[in-house]
Amino acid sequence: MSKISQRPGAAATAMLGLGIYRPERVVTNAEICEVLDSSDEWIQSRTGIQRRRFAREDETVIDMGVAAAEDALKAAGITADQIGAVIVASTTQGQHTPHAAPMLADRLGSRAASFDVSAGCAGFCHALSVASDLVRGGSAEYALVVGVEKVSDFLDPTDRSTAMIFADGAGAVVVGPADEPGIGPVAWGSDGSQSQVIRQEPRCRQVEHDQQPVIAMEGQAVFRWAPFKMADVAREAVASAGLELADLDAFVPHQANMRITDTLVRNLKLPEGIPVARDIADTGNTSAASVPLAIERMVRDGEAKPGDTALLIAFGAGLSYAGQVVTLPPVAGL
């Protein structure tokens, strides 16, 4: 039997830079309610969302992902040709073939291994873990992770359980070698017995000459599951990083619904004074983009800073979830 060599990898990894993209168009609750049978008051009190952003009709998942990725590369101080793997987390790029990552890599001028991760709103935290393991395993010196969604393409504007929640945007990070571990062990899993709770439905939305499936959600089922199960996942992520909740400088949960965040924080018994991401008020639920967008908001608002220790938790369709403790990276433009 021949002896196969394996590559050594980095002893430790971290996020080296973060970039984001928020579409220009701000969509108020009033605008949503021009079509949806709801009200600004109901949306704010039940979801915490005041406004969100929708991409332009001609703006694609690739366009948004490239914008975020270019800024992540700048913040990390590396060039596209140094990237050894590009991982795109998205469920709204509109087609299974071709997948998004090679097109995104090409726009950056990269010929790196490029693949998509489909794990709903938990996609970014899954991809971050995969990227860290690729770098630690020696398969790439640097890996680019992009969480990007254009959920507006898949919304039925008359559906009361989705139309006011979801939104568009992108966030990207470069993962690479570091002197000290900056990405803790992932706590992750799934419950496929609830796979129908968030799903794509053939019930189609007419788009110009074409038809597009829509996203449907049993919101209450997610509500009964997420704030309880995610408290356990959060505790597991913190313990496996060798830390305690009191060691955290920030908590960045997936921006699903402000009431889910509030209930999760209560269930977790997060110590008072640890800032919690609440980007959802201005941004809506951007699925796989929500965690990096929320990090950027916290750093921009001075609630957290690069070098801080933060707990990330993401959950959604699948049902899938993933979370890890990280050191916050430098953020482009801040």
Q: Which residues are part of the catalytic machinery?
A: 121, 254, 285
Is residue 253 involved in binding ligand UT7 (CB under 6 A)? no
Q: Among residue numbers 287 through 316, which ones bind ligand UT7 (CB under 6 A)?
A: 316
| Cα separation values, 172 from 85, 272, 330, Å | 13, 30, 12
CB of 225 to ligand UT7, least distance (A): 9
What lies within 8 Å, CB to CB, of 171 at 6+ separation is 18, 19, 20, 21, 68, 124, 146, 147, 148, 289, 291, 292, 293, 295, 296
Between 47 and 93, whose beta carbon lies closer to ligand UT7?
A: 47
Figure out which of the listed residues 44, 139, 161, 240 binds ligand UT7, where binding follows CB under 6 A.
Answer: 161
DSSP string, 265-321: HHHHTPPTT--B--THHHH-B-GGGHHHHHHHHHHHTTSS-TT-EEEEEEEEGGGEE
Q: Given the rule CB under 6 A, which of 81-89, 125-133, 157-165, 276-284 is the region that contacts ligand UT7?
A: 157-165
Between 229 and 300, whose beta carbon lies closer to ligand UT7?
A: 229
CB of 181 to ligand UT7, least distance (A): 29
CB of 309 to ligand UT7, least distance (A): 25
Q: Output b/e per residue, 24-43; b: 16+ Cβ within 10 A.
A: eeebebeebbeebebebeeb
Burial of 98 (0-12, 13-18, 19+ CB in 10 A): exposed
Between 219 and 323, whose beta carbon lies closer to ligand UT7?
A: 219
Q: Considering CB under 6 A, how many residues would be counted as binding ligand UT7?
A: 21
Between 56 and 203, whose beta carbon lies closer to ligand UT7?
A: 203
Is residue 164 involved in binding ligand UT7 (CB under 6 A)? yes
83-89 and 113-117 strand pairing:
parallel
Phi and psi of 53, rounded to 5°?
A: -120, 135
CB of 265 to ligand UT7, least distance (A): 15
Burial of 208 (0-12, 13-18, 19+ CB in 10 A): exposed
Which residue's Cβ lies closest to ligand UT7? Answer: 219
Is residue 47 involved in binding ligand UT7 (CB under 6 A)? yes
CB of 231 to ligand UT7, least distance (A): 15
- List interacting residues with ligand UT7 (CB under 6 A): 38, 42, 46-47, 121, 160-161, 164-165, 198, 217, 219-220, 222-223, 226, 256-257, 260, 285, 316
